[in-house]
Chain A
Amino acid sequence: MNRLNSLLLALCACMPLAVLGQAAYVLPSPTAAEELVTLYIDLTQCQDQRLSDMLDAYPEEDVYLWIWNPSAPVAGNGDWGDSDDHQVMTKVSEKLYSYSFVPTEYFGVDGPTFFSRGISCLAKLDNGYSYEEEFGGEAKTEDLSVGIVPQLCNGRMCIFPEIREGDDFVTFTYDNNQETNPDLQNLSEVYLHLTARTDAFTLYTYGDDGVASTPFDAGAVPELRMQPVDGQPGMFTFTFVPEDFFLGTPSNIDQTPYTGELLENGVRWYITKPGYTFAGPPPANSLGILICE
């Protein structure tokens, strides 16, 4: 019975350690897919202490990140016997290493893929075969998995849903408080300039007559006005079904009206206000449309 009591006590004592002792984690969490995140690997928390022991014996060695999920890095990991230089980790403190990246750029995957797959990685020495005989195994930690708590969109413009067809409802939510163009800051009236593209050359700009020589001001078209969000100053929203919305809009080629063709090249959009003209070309933001035959 004394043995049973000891076992119960030991189990209770270990539970907080199991929660706190993470060998790999990312900060900040919740994590945005398109902003800088830092991956930390704490060698003291790894089950396999071989790499930690090697660093005790050879403290001059650098530690490299080897990563394969959600995908290998766009720039690659290098070879097991010679990691690429760009994969070297920063030594934060004794046995704690970090590596910072923008997930969508570093992995070349979209946000949903990053969030659903999480991160699988390990830490290693430049040459993964180093000191193999001396320490009885390769110079690496065990495989480490990091689940990602996703951060919902809180950028200047959020588009819902993430993936949409041309006949889906699409909602733009715009935060004018985050506007970087000084001419468009502190707006009380916000308009969306919207252009549907059935191919690379055929454009349908809502409200425009399709004749290039005629000036067009999207800020004078009531249907393009974004609606203020109640209780959230500076926030505006706009919901539309692209294939319905552009019906009848003249094309830039021969002014023939749009009749619901697939929007193979998506929808171009930018924020504007009444009477405003950009000093250079307007921003070329694109709303991708899923083509589903």
Chain B
Amino acid sequence: MKLQHLLLSALALALMVAGCKRDITGELGDPIDKRAGFLGKWELASFTQQDLNNPLKQTRDLSHLYIQDGVTPMSLTFNDDDSYQIVQELGRVYFGQGGTWSFDDPSFPTFLQLMGETDTLEYNLGRTVRPYDDQMAIEYRRSCGEGGALLETVIYTFTFNRMPQ
């Protein structure tokens, strides 16, 4: 009987606390400028490959293919005039030779688009990048087929560190 009284008292207390909770008020403020967050120079920090057909969707670190002693890591620079530059000494080329860049939707970006002289490349953004974030990630999600026959295979993730200007 003591246990039951204790349980009932605790329940009543919880209801009282919940009932007394203040309403949230105030302004939400301006939305974060995702484009501004992306501007600047970024240096490659890691490169991974995730196997979507592996039983545990295992991820392998393949950074050594791009980052080695004595070699300047790949860097991307996104400018306010929509141009971008790439400096790359090592590893497979995924980001073209430079050109112009944009988001698919500046307010709610999902994809980064890189337009070169001959190709347009489109990659997923790993996360929203705010002006004060020091890291950003670009994902290359690979799949084969369409509709019900779509087979997702691997995700390559390039993680970059923001470089001081």
Contact = CB atoms under 8 A, between A and B. Distances in A.
A111 B144 CA distance: 19
Contacts, number: 59
Interface string B18-61: 00000000000000000000000000000001011111101010
B92 A150 contact: no
A164 B156 CA distance: 13
A150 B51 contact: no
B60 A160 contact: yes
B4 A4 contact: yes
Given A4-B4, A241-B92, A164 B55 contact: no
A168 B54 contact: no
Nearest to B49: A169
Nearest to B62: A169
Given A1-B4, A150-B56, A169-B65, A161 B51 contact: yes
B65 to A, nearest CB: 7
B151 interface: yes
Interface in A164-193: 164-165, 168-169, 171
A29 to B, nearest CB: 13
A165 B62 CA distance: 17
Interface of B: 1, 4, 49, 51-56, 58, 60, 62, 65, 92, 142, 144-145, 151, 153-154, 156
Interface of A: 1, 4-5, 111-112, 115, 150-152, 160-165, 168-169, 171, 239, 241, 244, 290, 292
